[in-house]
Chain A
């Protein structure tokens, strides 16, 4: 799981009002280089929940992201590179996602979070 996915995922179990952002408890992470695509990054930027993204990055040991999106983000290559790396190049291979409201745990194995709810949670 990369932070791009994390920024979209939430716990929508029955009774949970705000299941976002999920806390990441990483056990194993891995870095894989991804081609830089500025068009993709500027498209994704406004969709990001930025503070959740910055926090998640810290949870997996990534520092250096600004606390706010810079005004000239689209033309700030250095910022885009940092964003690119945190968004796409770091994979949480093994670990757990935890719902901030209910504490419900979602396991991550082989890089794939299991978000399936039990029959008493839907």
Chain B
């Protein structure tokens, strides 16, 4: 893992000289090849890391650039007795030449080794990036690159953890790529403990365990983590139950991949954490969460559906079998609890990574208002869009100060007071308004009415009349 812990401090520069944020080619200075390979082995969104031998806006320029590149860096990889392969990895190019022999010839490099297409010692990429003919792509200046591949990411991991093959799934199980990315943000690694306080079927913990971390999960829903459900007949498209009546649960998901099962899994509530009140500071290396804000249905915490009288008690004879009722878990309170959890349980340098709802239009305000805590520093945020209007924002915090009860208490009080003083709708209310935009709902209602009655609804007529006047 050498150097990888500081990967966020690296300076990335656009490799094509343009100013488009979405260019797929970036330069980055790395201390050595080992670091490059280590990064490539964990990265999911980076296809490969290359030692750039040269780049230029056109082929002639590329030839000169490669010729000018340090001879001692090139010779060992071109030497007699070695095997090599050159791959074409163009971007956006529709009609350009993919003739490798011509390209290699144009470079003017003395390849003295033997071409081996199956198992080459040295792999090179010849890249032309030209987006002019593909308007759907972000437009970047035409550029040619040549380089030696140092490390490539292993996208087969995504296939291995594809949810379609997962034994036990819930409606909100995190997809494999996102779960693995979150495990990367949380820097899951052997020797560390990763907690998911809303673990559900354990999809994010499976990803953390893939990277060798110990995992812990909490969920308030006893049905999800404990009971599991009936196993389905393997290969059945329609979810037919297995004939042996076997069942699957969270443990099954870890066993399926031969991963270490969670070191702790319990039914509990983030809002009333069933942990001892002292001495656990710094236990966790990372926290991953996909909190059940539910733009549709909010999360739950323990407590009565309605406020209970002070002296209310469940009758003694009922206690054994009583199923605790839950109360709505307000969005802001859930965030406060999550930040508090991280401030308290993470070790210094540990990461909290979780999703918030987010929109494209109001992004500036949403980023300004991201949750804050004196013990935590916001490291990254990025919006994944579901459509043109909204999506979810992945945020990552790093714990930078030791936990201080007084500081944390004051931070929470201040946050609560600030919200009480504000008459703006909170993020979740704004998201609800966005998602359940009144216009399409009204249009649907009219359509239904018209289909049933054969005429438009009376209020619709009135509205149209008033619009014409």
Contacts and interface: CB of A to CB of B under 8 A. Distances in A.
A114 interface: yes
B190 A119 contact: no
Interface string A29-51: 00010110101100110010100
Interface stretch (B85-93, B127-135, B176-184, B312-320): B312-320
A55 interface: no
A32 B263 CA distance: 11
A25 interface: no
Interface in B257-311: 260-261, 263-269, 272-277, 279-280, 282-283, 302-305, 308
Contacts of B216: 5
Nearest to A20: B276
Contacts of B347: 43
A42 to B, nearest CB: 9
A12 B268 CA distance: 11
Contacts of A27: none
Interface string A47-83: 1010000000000000000000000000000000000
- Which one of B190, B249, B261, B266 has the highest number of Cβ atoms from chain A below 10 Å of its Cβ? B266
Interface string B341-364: 000000100000000000000000
B266 A5 contact: yes
Contacts of B267: 112-116
A120 B312 CA distance: 6
A112 B313 contact: no
Given A1-B264, A40-B191, A111-B265, A118 B274 contact: no
Max count, chain A CB within 10 A of own CB: residue among B191, B265, B274, B283 = B274
A8 B283 contact: yes
A25 to B, nearest CB: 14
Nearest to B283: A47
Given A39-B190, A43-B191, A122 B272 contact: yes
Contacts of A2: 263-264
A118 B319 contact: yes
Nearest to A8: B275
Nearest to A49: B279
A116 B325 CA distance: 10
B97 to A, nearest CB: 52
A116 B264 contact: no
B62 interface: no
Nearest to B263: A4
Contact of B280 (A21, A43, A47, A118): A47
A119 B303 contact: yes
Nearest to A14: B272
A12 B220 CA distance: 15
A4 B302 contact: no
Given A119-B303, A119-B304, A110 B226 contact: yes
A89 to B, nearest CB: 11
B228 to A, nearest CB: 8
Contacts of A116: 220, 222, 267-269, 302, 324
Contacts of B273: 12
B397 interface: no
A120 B272 contact: no
B191 A119 contact: no
Nearest to B216: A5
B237 interface: no
B226 A8 contact: no
Nearest to B309: A120
Contact of A4 (B249, B264, B277): B264
B124 interface: no
7 contacts: A49-B279, A110-B226, A114-B226, A115-B274, A116-B324, A117-B274, A120-B304
Q: Nearest 8 CB-CB pairs, A to B?
A: A5-B264, A115-B274, A39-B191, A119-B304, A10-B276, A115-B268, A114-B267, A20-B276
Given A5-B263, A8-B276, A113-B267, 14 more contacts: A1-B264, A1-B266, A5-B264, A5-B265, A8-B264, A9-B275, A9-B276, A11-B274, A12-B277, A37-B191, A49-B279, A118-B322, A119-B304, A120-B314
